[in-house]
């Protein structure tokens, strides 16, 4: 589904990603871990198409397409979803209206008519239940005045509504208490299927207690320095990032 080869990217002339290689197959969950400043969020931003980041080398092939040639909105329409580390507030625009617009745009891109109001409402109901989110929250202005936890839940709700093929969760666990963490993780687990893939970007191991990854990659200084199975996350938790740094620098 996703093939990243020798990806180099920089911002304001400073190179952050220094040759990332990553293969993700449909149905898989990959965790990308790493210390602060290792390039985790940059990788997410580059995948989603943030224009401040300049790709200087390498390629990203997504379902046979050159992802880097697609505009950010077209990547979204092709099924790339980013759950933001810091979701954005848009005052006066209801969550529902936002999602309706997004779904219409995605459908229009695929040559489909807008969803019928009735079908949309049914879907809304079903997904609210699935990710355990309150209608009250869904009806409010987009993320406006939401708590940190509510914002993260809302990201997962949007993910449920848009049914992406590739979901990238950027530090979704940050700022969550243990109950919220469990709810968010449950949502992600329920949305996981054989038709989609998930990238979980996280600093800590604890989210991986709830969402079991198939593969774990450790990012350090703009490169994936170690890949392994889920046990790698536990090892990392135990030994800390210093052990990786020592291993790499040795």
Partner 1 sequence: MNEVIEQKISTEYKYGFVTDIDADSAPKGLNEDIIRFISAKKNEPEWMLVYRLEAFRHWLTMDEPDWAHVSYQKPDYQDIIYYSAPKPKKALKSLDEVDPELLKTFQKLGISILEQERLTGVESRVAMDVIVDSVSVKTTFKATLAEKGIIFCSFGEAIQEHPELVKKYMSSVIPYTDNFYAALNSAVFTDGSFCYIPKGVRCPMELSTYFRIEAAGTGQFERTLIIADEDSYVSYLEGCTAPMRDENQLHAAVVELVAHKNAQIKYSTVQNWYPGDKEGKGGIFNFVTKRGICMEENAKISWTQVETGSAITWKYPSVILKGDNSIGEFYSVAITNNYQQADTGTKMIHIGKNTKSTIISKGISAGFSNNSYRGLVRIAKGAENARNFSQCDSLLMGDKCGAHTFPYIEIKNNTAVVEHEATTSKIGEDQLFYCKQRGIDNEKAIGLIVNGYCKDVLSQLPMEFAVEAQKLLEVSLEGSVG
Binding site for partner 1 (CB under 8 A): 48-50, 71-73, 76-77, 81-82, 84, 87-88, 90-94, 97-99, 101-103, 105-106, 109, 141-142, 158, 162
Instruction: Please name the residue ranges forming H helices in the chain.
Output: 40-48, 72-77, 95-109, 117-130, 135-139, 148-162, 178-191, 231-239, 241-249
C-beta of 137 vs 162, nearer to partner 1? 162
Minimum distance of partner 1 from residue 78's CB (angstroms): 9
Q: Which is nearer to partner 1, 71 or 119 (CB)?
A: 71
Nearer to partner 1 among residue 109 and residue 243 (C-beta): 109
d(Cα 216, Cα 214) in Å, to the nearest integer? Answer: 7
The CA distance from 160 to 124, in Å, is 9
Residue 12 CB, shortest distance to partner 1, in Å, is: 14
Report the residue number, 21 or 63, with the smaller CB distance to partner 1: 63
**CB 243, min distance to partner 1, A:** 35
Question: How many other C-beta atoms lie within 10 A of the C-beta of residue 37?
Answer: 12
d(CA 67, CA 133): 32
Shortest Å, Cβ 241 to partner 1 = 29
C-beta of 105 vs 214, nearer to partner 1? 105
Nearest to 205 by CA among 239, 170, 233: 233
Compute the least distance from the CB of residue 249 to partner 1, in Å.
Answer: 36
Strand 215-220 to 29-33 pairing: parallel
The C-alpha atoms of residue 154 and residue 23 are separated, in whole angstroms, by 29
Nearest to 201 by CA among 88, 55, 36, 21: 36
Nearer to partner 1 by Cβ, of 48 and 60: the residue is 48
Burial of 153 (0-12, 13-18, 19+ CB in 10 A): buried
Nearer to partner 1, 1 or 106 (CB): 106
Residue 89 beta carbon to partner 1: minimum distance, rounded to whole angstroms? 8
How near is the Cβ of 68 to partner 1 at its closest, in Å? 15
Residues 158, 159, 165: CA angle, nearest 5 degrees: 150
The two tokens of residue 36 are 């602060």
């Amino acid at each position: 589904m996703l093939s990243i080869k020798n990806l180099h990217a920089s911002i304001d002339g400073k190179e952050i990603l220094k040759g990332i290689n990553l293969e993700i197959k449909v149905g898989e969950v990959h965790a990308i871990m790493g210390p602060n400043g290792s390039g985790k969020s940059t990788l997410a931003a580059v995948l989603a198409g943030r224009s401040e980041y300049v790709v200087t080398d390498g390629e990203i092939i997504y379902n046979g397409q050159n992802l880097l040639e697609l505009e950010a909105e077209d990547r979204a329409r092709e099924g790339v979803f980013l759950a933001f580390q810091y979701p954005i507030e848009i005052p006066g625009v209801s969550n529902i209206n936002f999602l309706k617009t997004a779904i219409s745009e995605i459908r229009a891109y695929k040559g489909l008519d807008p969803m019928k109001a009735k079908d949309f409402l049914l879907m809304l109901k079903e997904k609210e239940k699935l990710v355990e989110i309150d209608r009250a929250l869904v009806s409010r202005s987009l993320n406006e005045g939401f708590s940190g936890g509510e914002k993260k839940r809302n990201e997962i709700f949007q993910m449920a509504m848009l049914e992406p093929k590739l979901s990238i969760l950027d530090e979704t666990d940050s700022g969550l208490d243990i109950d919220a963490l469990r709810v968010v993780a449950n949502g992600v687990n329920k949305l996981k299927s054989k038709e989609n893939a998930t990238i979980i970007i996280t600093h800590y191991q604890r989210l991986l207690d709830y969402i079991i990854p198939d593969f774990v990659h450790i990012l350090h200084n703009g490169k994936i320095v170690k890949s392994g199975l889920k046990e790698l996350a536990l090892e990392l938790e135990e030994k800390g990032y210093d052990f990786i740094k020592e291993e790499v620098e040795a």
